[in-house]
Amino acid sequence: MRKNVVILVLAALIVGAGAAYTMAKPKDEKRHKIDGTVYVLPKEFLLNLSDGRYAKLNVALVLDPHQATAPDTGGHGGGPRPPEGFGTLEQEAVVRDIVTDVVTNQDGDTLISADGRERIKQAILVQIRRTTDVRTKDVLITDVAVQ
């Protein structure tokens, strides 16, 4: 009988120690599924397409985690503010121009299809990497309407 009590106490201690270990173990740092900063271009695009229709869409960039979205103004008062409708990305006007050029050369059917949008996003990404200093990992096209 005394042997059974000792075994029962040891089993309870082992189970208790295991539970304490799992509860006291620090949780792993949560990792984001997107590695980078998502920068939404603040002004929507309203563009004429090559087939005579028009498209209204929003575009976002997945930036490298080390890409600055605000120019270094050096000082307390900050520098000049960007024009109304523009955000804080240094070469945002160039990026908007690239998006406009790529999308206006497409027809509505291409923009509506998932494969077509993927090709457009890749074309925009290639042009951004080729012509700007914006370290972009991906391009996101959201809220698409074609008429």
- pTM score above 0.75: no
How would residue 34 be classed by pLDDT, with cut points 50, 70 and 90?
A: confident
Homologous superfamily in CATH for domain 37-146: Band 7 domain (3.30.479.30)
Q: What is the mean pLDDT of residues 7-23?
A: 71
pLDDT score for 131 = 96
Report the length, in residues, of the chain.
147
More confident residue, 23 or 120: 120
Q: For 45-95, how does the pLDDT look when each residue is reduced to its tens digit (9 = 90+)?
A: 999 999 999 999 999 999 988 776 655 455 555 555 555 545 678 899 999
Q: Is 8 exposed, middle or buried (0-12, 13-18, 19+ CB in 10 A)?
A: exposed
